[in-house]
Amino acid sequence: MSTTTTVTAPTDAELLRAAADHARHQDTAALLSALLPGLDGVELRALTDRCRFAHTALLVFPPDAGALRAMLAGAGLAPEAAARPSTVVRERLAVRHGRDAAELEVGILRPAVTGADGEQRVVEVFALTVPPGSGLAGLAARERAAQHEAHLGFEVRQPDPLLLRGLCALLARHGARPDGGGYNPHEDGTVLYFTAPDDSKAGCPRIELYAPGDHRELLAEHLARHRTEQPAEVLLRQLTGAWTTQALGAFAELGVPEAMDARVPRSAEQVAAAVGADPETLRSLLRYLAMLGTVVPDGGGFRLSPAGELLRADAAGSLRPLSLLYAGPFYRSFGGLAGTVRTGEAAFDRLFGENHFDHFARDPDLAELFDRSMAASTRMFDPLPGHPVVRAAASAGGPRTVVDLAGGTGELLSRLLAAHPALRGVLLERPHVVDAAREFLDAAGCGDRARCLAGTFADVPPGGDVYLLSRVLHDWDDAHCRGILRHLAAAMPPHADLLVVERLLPEDGSPSLATAWDLHMRCNVGGRERTAGQYARLFADAGLELLRHDPLPLDARVLHVRKSPADRTG
């Protein structure tokens, strides 16, 4: 005997209540991260600084104005006195269903809600009146099922054409596709629609960028991309990616961010005089960087955007060292990528005659640049002081030791020690890094609780309670990783925990920063990124067991590892 379950489609009232709850409980950063899972931290900050989550939108089909007011009240929304005409949605419906736009009476209402973050936003309700027996009933049924007009709206702050182009390019880079738009003369606003990326986790099919003002020239470009995919343009943008790397590197190398301000615009001539550059060529660079969102055109000059501020040497979490490294030695070796793909050998080693660790160790300036570049991504460490393994060690009642292997200058170790005064630390590093690590830990106020040891992975100190391997294993091929992990397993007491910080390649092939870094590691370092399953097998080969992995900022994960049960008791 079999039964058939009938799934009833949600009513307009139910959809409206869900949309209102969504608008109340979301915030800009979390929603953008869900919409565009491939965003890195810098891109997310650039987006959140330039636009805000403004509304959740849907299209409903009330039989009359009274029914619409009742639906709004049922969703806890205050009805407005009257709806304003919706030019954009009316035209989209007419095109999609082969109707005369004049017969489609579509209005917009925007009842306000307060988000969980305290932000004021609205539920954007498009309403097409469909009286009982109307010839529009079939259209309403199809639209209600497909939810073509449901979207998440982001309002662009202080829009200008270059900024809007940069935002559109960023969305496109992460898989969002142009999906129409329009200019609404009733409110003097320009709307750009995008289809959400295939890997979006936001549960909504479309994204809206709303820009106050008349931006119909940009709108025409956007609509042209919607009408035709223009693969040649897409490929040209991808082929010029090297220009972006060098433009950002030159911007940082010349000290341009330090000669600019985030609030007061400066002319190209003023900035050129400050850094000793040619004014017209610098203007060209600034125009290009404005398109990327690194600087913002303002009047006749330019000012730093929040992303541009991160390229200042004195910025908290400065990415300047990373830009110089990627536009410098790693840029040169990436030119040999074809050889790496052909042979599996690192292009850096072929170009410079040695691996990057040895090469940087011979050049104090490069070694310092590399160490500072590693510190540029330390935002991924923010949650680690609160990790259950760390908190358990700190509250164990007796002195507990955290051992950071290849821990650089001590950024991660210092965070754990600062958060938990009961912990003691040991940092193992290459000889030329140890002095800098001692200085850093002393300056951080925890030098009296930390020892710095010079050595290799063969010198892993025994007796620790928590061991750290942060962004280490991806530097090496599988054979080297097994050697590192076996040394570590031999030194770990049975009760000890190991925390490994890495980016994980997605098992399902979805977009991830790890995919890009995997290519970089193979070409420039000789290492690779791995899936969780691949790491689990490496751990098992060393008598270790992967228990779980949890998300960190910048698309990283923290892997919790312990000795396998047989090794803990044997």
Whether residue 340 lies inside any domain: the answer is: no
264: Cβ contacts below 8 Å, ≥ 6 apart: 303
Residues 225 and 267 in one domain: no
Whole-number pLDDT of residue 5: 39
Instruction: Tell me how far apart the alpha carbons of residues 169 and 167 are, in angstroms, rounded to a whole number.
Output: 5
Q: Which two tokens stand for residue 503?
A: 């980016």
Is the residue at 347 inside a domain? no
Do 231 and 247 fall within a single domain? Answer: no
Q: Name the domain boundary from 201, 235, 269.
A: 235
Nearest residue to 329 via CA among 306, 300, 358, 294? 358
Same domain, 408 and 440: yes
Rounded CA gap, 15 and 317, in Å?
Answer: 42
What residue numbers bound the domain in which 262 lies? 240-327
Half-sphere exposure of 236 (CA within 13 A, CB side): 5
The per-residue pLDDT for 461 is 96
247 and 388 fall within a common domain: no
Q: Do 58 and 15 touch, CB atoms closer than 8 A?
A: yes
- For the chain, what percentages of helix, strand and coil (3-state, to nearest 5) are there? 50, 20, 30
Beta pairing, strands 423-429 & 450-454: parallel
Query: Would residue 352 count as lying in a domain?
Result: no
Q: Give the pLDDT of residue 80.
A: 66
- Domain end marker among 235, 267, 282: 235
Q: How many domains does the chain contain in total?
A: 3
Task: Tell whether 384 and 532 lie within a shared domain.
Answer: yes
Residue 3 maps to a domain: no
Q: Is 474 a catalytic residue?
A: yes
Do the domain assignments include residue 63?
yes
Query: Is residue 221 located within the same domain as residue 305?
Result: no
Query: What is the biggest distance separating any 2 CA atoms in the chain, rounded to whole angstroms?
Result: 85
Is residue 289 within 8 A of residue 251, CB to CB? The reply is yes
Of 489, 458, 483, 469, the residue nearest 567 (C-alpha): 489
Question: Domain check: are 433 and 530 in the same one?
Answer: yes
- Helix residue ranges per DSSP H, 386-495: 388-394, 411-419, 431-443, 478-491
Same domain (yes/no): 382, 410:
yes
424 belongs to a structural domain: yes
Task: Indicate whether 453 and 542 sit together in one domain.
Answer: yes
Give the pLDDT of residue 2: 38
Give buried/exposed letters for 204-213 (b at 16+ CB in 10 A, else e): bbbbbbbbee
- Looking at the structure, tell me whether residues 223 and 307 fall in a common domain: no
Same domain, 386 and 531: yes
* Residue labelled with tokens 């067991």: 545
- Dump pLDDT digits (tens) for 364-416: 888 788 877 776 677 788 889 999 999 999 998 878 999 999 998 899 999 99
Q: Which residues pair with 210 in a beta bridge?
A: 155, 191
Report residue 284: phi and psi, to 5°.
-60, -45
CATH number, residue 284: 1.10.10.10
CATH number at 214 reads 3.10.180.10
Of 235, 255, 287, which residue constitutes the final position of a domain?
235
Degrees (nearest 5) of the Cα angle 491, 497, 500?
Answer: 95
Q: How far apart are CA 276 and CA 263, in angstroms?
A: 22
Structural domain includes residue 118: yes
- Encode pLDDT of 33-45 as tens digits: 889 988 887 788 8
Rounded to whole angstroms, how far apart are CA atoms 255 and 253? Answer: 5
Judged by DSSP in three states, 293 sits in coil
**Alpha-carbon separation of residue 228 from 174, 235, 543 (angstroms):** 19, 14, 55
pLDDT for 162: 77
Q: Is 11 left (phi over 0), alpha (psi -120 to 50) or beta?
A: beta
* Rounded Cα–Cα distance for residues 42 and 170 (Å): 12
Which regions of the chain are under pLDDT 50?
A: 1-7, 229
For residues 113 and 122, give the distance between their C-alpha atoms in angstroms, rounded to a whole number.
Answer: 5
Compute the distance between CA of residue 186 and CA of residue 191 in angstroms, rounded to an integer.
13
Residues 443, 445, 447, 449: what is their CA dihedral angle, to the nearest 10 degrees?
A: -170
Instruction: Establish if 353 belongs to a structural domain.
Output: no
Please give the full DSSP string across 13-65, using - where no structure is assigned: HHHHHHHHHHHHH--HHHHHHHH-TT--HHHHHHHHHHEEEEEEEEEE--SSH
Q: What is the CATH number of the domain that holds 495?
A: 3.40.50.150
pLDDT at 284: 95
Residue 511 is predicted with a pLDDT of: 67
pTM, full prediction: 0.61
DSSP 79: P
- The pLDDT assigned to 227 comes to 58
Same domain assignment for residues 62 and 193: yes
Q: Which of 474, 487, 520, 560 is catalytic?
A: 474
